[in-house]
Amino acid sequence: MFSRVFKKSKPKNDDIASLDKLNETLVSLEKKEKVLQKKAAEETERAKEFTRVKNKRGALQCLKRKKLFEQQIEQLFNFQLRIHDQMIMIEGAKVTTGTVEALRTGAAAMKAMEKTMNIDYVDKTLDEVNEQTENIRQIQEALAAPLGSAVDFDEDELEAELDALKIDDLEEQLLQPATSTIPATPVHIPPVEQSAQTSSRTGERDKEKEEEEEVATLQTEMAL
């Protein structure tokens, strides 16, 4: 419906020409209105003068002409109102036409995009994206895998090598020289006289030395 209406509408240049013509007519009517208002005012002044000189007939004639001028002024005022209404309608029609043209342009653009973006094309594109994503994932997994992971090792051979390492480690521990592994414990000295403290410390050191000698002897015997 709108397409039929606006296909028959005048071009933009014709709309501008119509508005210019209406503006010219409006200005002309306003000038005529001012002239008639001036003439009506003059007839009023003449009627006053005839009244002063008591010329009733002359005063009535002036008032009749004044009424005729006022009727013409009212007609011109109505003409101006009609012109204003028509100008407003034309401006509104221009806005409506521009809006419809913009909508038609948008619809045409959407139609053109739809031709290149139908559902089959979208599905095909998504399939290609998914395929490429899967390929990249597989490549990343392959690169992240440790080197040599695909080599087939002999489990029995590895077990035998591990047992040999355990035996070598045990023999190395038995052949190491004997060392004291018992840590020295701190000795608490009670608050007694200086001579008693000195004797106690000497006795503790002798006792520790004897224990170290016993441990060393025991380790030597075990090594044998």
- CA-wise closest residue to 73 among 42, 31, 44: 31
Of 1, 221, 218, the C-alpha closest to 100 is: 1
Tens digits of per-residue pLDDT, 16-73? Answer: 788 888 889 999 999 999 999 999 999 999 999 988 888 888 889 999 999 999 999 9
Say if CB 91 and CB 22 are below 8 A apart: no
Domain locations along the chain: 2-116, 159-176+193-223
CA 119, chain centre distance (Å): 27
pTM exceeding 0.75 = no
Q: What is the pLDDT of residues 76-100, one digit of tens each?
A: 999 999 999 998 988 888 889 889 9
